[in-house]
Amino acid sequence: MLRRVFIFIAVVCVAGLAGFWWLTIPVVVPASALPMYTPDLANGRTTFNAGGCSSCHAVPNQPDRTRLGGGLAIPSPFGTFYVPNISPDPGDGIGRWSEAEFVTALTKGTSPQGTHYFPAFPYTSYHHANISDLRDLFAYLKTLPPISGKARDHDVPFPFNIRRNIGIWKLLFTDDKPFVPDAAKSPQWNRGAYLVNALGHCAECHSPRNFLGGIIAAQRFAGGPNPEGKGWVPNITQKGLSDWSEKDLAYFLETGMLPDGDSVGGSMARVIKNTSQLSAEDRAAMAAYIKFLPAVEGPPKPKGKAQHDHGS
C-alpha cells in the first residue's frame, strides 16, 4: 500500500513538472511571420520617442539620448534590475539581433537565447503595439551609434531570479492582444489610447501592483507607490487630474510644466524628454485620452509622503 502511495505521489510530481514546463515555454515570433517590409525611419523615430526607449536605455549621466548603452539601475521589491545595452553594437548591444528576435522581445518578452525577460522590461504594454511600428523602431535603432560595454547582471534573489517562473507570471498578468481601435471614438482618441497604453506604457508606473508585481486592473492609472521604491506616483485618472484641461496635459507633455507653474522632477523628467519630441498632434491625442479616463480611487497615500518624484 505504501509503495502505491509513493508511486502515485511520484506520478503527480512528474505530471506537475511537465505541466509547469509546458505552460512556461517562452513564446517566439518566427521570421516567417514577418513578410517583406520597407521600414519607415521617420515613424521609427516617433516610435522611439513614444516608447520612451532613451528614458531607461540611454547611458546615465550624459546628455545624448541616442547613446543606448544601458546601465541604469531600477530598484524594485524583487531586486535591482540593470537596463541592458540596446545600441547597434554587435558584441554588447543588439547589432546581431534579427528583426524577428527584436519583435519577439517586445511582444512576447522572450530573449534571443529563448529565456523569459523580467517584466521590468515593459513588454506587457509593448505587446499591444503594431508590428509595423516595432519594425520601424528596429530599423531606426540600427541608425544610432554603437556603444560598447554591457550592463552588469541583475541583482535579483532566489526565487525571483528563476526566469522560468516568469512564464506563469505572464499567464496571470498579460493578455497578449494587439491594440484594436474603438470605432465609436474619434481618430484622435484612438491615437491617444494607443500611445498611452501600448508605446507609452504609462500604466506600468501609474498603476498600483499586487504582491506578485502585477498591475491591479481595477486601479489602472490610479497611481500608488513608485515601483522603483522611492516616492509616490500620481493618479492620472480624473480623480487626480480633474482640474487639468487637455491643454494643460499637452503642455505638460511638451515642457514638464505643471498648471501651478512648478516643473516635474525625478524619472518623469526623463519621460518628458521623449514626449517633447513627439508632434503636437500626438501630444494632444495623449492628452485627450488621459482626460477621458474616468475617476478611479487609488491606494491610500501614507501621511507625510511628498507628492511624487515620478510624474505629473
Q: Running DSSP on this structure, what letter comes out for residue 312?
A: -
pLDDT digits (tens, 9 = 90+) for 56-66: 999 988 888 99
Final residue belonging to a domain, choices 132, 156, 178: 178
195/131 same-domain check? no
189/235 same-domain check? yes
Average pLDDT for residues 219-238, to the nearest whole number?
Answer: 84
In angstroms, rounded to a whole number, what is the distance separating the alpha carbons of residues 119 and 147?
24
- Largest Cα span, the chain: 78
Final residue belonging to a domain, choices 129, 152, 178: 178
39/155 same-domain check? yes
The pLDDT score that the predictor gives to residue 211 is: 87
The total domain count for the chain is 2
Supply the range of the domain harboring residue 252. Answer: 182-312
172/261 same-domain check? no
pLDDT digits (tens, 9 = 90+) for 104-133: 999 999 999 999 999 999 999 999 999 999
- CA 176, 227, 20 angle in degrees (round to 5)? 45
73/174 same-domain check? yes
More confident residue, 136 or 307: 136
253/120 same-domain check? no
pLDDT digits (tens, 9 = 90+) for 23-41: 677 888 988 889 998 999 9
Average pLDDT for residues 257-285, to the nearest whole number?
Answer: 86
- Cell digits for 73? 539601475
In angstroms, rounded to a whole number, what is the distance separating the alpha carbons of residues 286 and 123?
20
Return the CATH number at 252: 1.10.760
In angstroms, rounded to a whole number, what is the distance separating the alpha carbons of residues 139 and 74?
27
Average pLDDT for residues 201-221, to the nearest whole number?
Answer: 90
The pLDDT score that the predictor gives to residue 128 is: 94
Final residue belonging to a domain, choices 121, 144, 178: 178
Torsion of CA 98, 195, 214, 155, to 10 degrees: 50
Which pTM does this prediction carry? 0.89
196/308 same-domain check? yes
80/116 same-domain check? yes
143/287 same-domain check? no
* Residues 6+ away with beta carbon under 8 Å from 187: none
Q: pLDDT band at 147, cuts 50/70/90? A: very high
47/150 same-domain check? yes
Answer yes or no: is pLDDT of 19 > 70.
Answer: no
Question: What single-letter amino acid sits at 310?
Answer: H
Q: pLDDT band at 84, cuts 50/70/90? A: very high
Supply the angle between the helices 187-194 and 280-292 in degrees, to the nearest 10.
90
| Residue 59 near residue 84, CB atoms below 8 Å | no
DSSP string, 109-154: -B-TTS-BPPTTS-HHHHTTS-HHHHHHHHHHHTTSPP---PPPPP
275/225 same-domain check? yes
296/152 same-domain check? no
